[in-house]
Amino acid sequence: MPRLRSDFWVSAHLRRLNDLSIPAVLRRRGAAEAGAVFVKVDRLDGTADLYGPAPQSLMAEAEDLGERRFSPMLAGVMPLDVEERLGREIRFDSDLWIIEIDDRSGRHFLELAPE
């Protein structure tokens, strides 16, 4: 099963968050068809989390390959640490997308890959 284009997925995820009254913005637009998506969650207490694309090796079943899954990259760190990591990711892949969510509870509604 082919994976949903990045631009459609990002638009749908932002709409979902908006419908749940969770403030979220698109900070960086990447490649429409296949750009990697990163999600920063600012917990509004001086800490932030970062989620990125899950490695294919963490996908539990072959049928999951058509779905977009995420893995935690940084958790409970200073927002500057997240920004530095995003800067490195952008230097590696300039076609990536960045969504930023502001939520004290850390809600993101991402599908996480099994660990």
Give the tens place of pLDDT for each residue, 18-37.
Answer: 999 999 999 999 999 989 99
Report the C-alpha gap between 113 and 58 in whole angstroms.
6
| Count of domains for the chain | 1
Residue 44 lies in a domain: yes
Query: What would the pLDDT profile of 3-17 be if each residue is shown by its tens digit?
Result: 789 999 999 999 999
Report the C-alpha gap between 60 and 115 in whole angstroms.
9
Question: If 0-12 CB within 10 Å is exposed, 13-18 middle and 19+ buried, where does residue 57 land?
Answer: exposed
Residue 107 lies in a domain: no
Residue 41 lies in a domain: yes
CATH value at residue 12: 3.40.1530.20
Query: What would the pLDDT profile of 73-110 be if each residue is shown by its tens digit?
Result: 999 999 999 999 999 999 999 999 999 999 999 999 99
pTM comes to 0.91
> pLDDT at position 58, please?
58
Please list, residue by residue across 90-103, b when 16 or more beta carbons sit within 10 angstroms of its beta carbon and e when fewer do. Answer: eeeeeebbbbbbeb
Residue 108 lies in a domain: no
Domain extent, residue 24, equals 6-102
Residue 86 lies in a domain: yes
Query: Which parts of 1-109 fold into alpha helices (H)?
Result: 6-19, 79-92
Structure tokens at 72: 């935690």
> pLDDT at position 4, please?
84
pLDDT at 62 over 50: no
pLDDT at 64 over 60: no
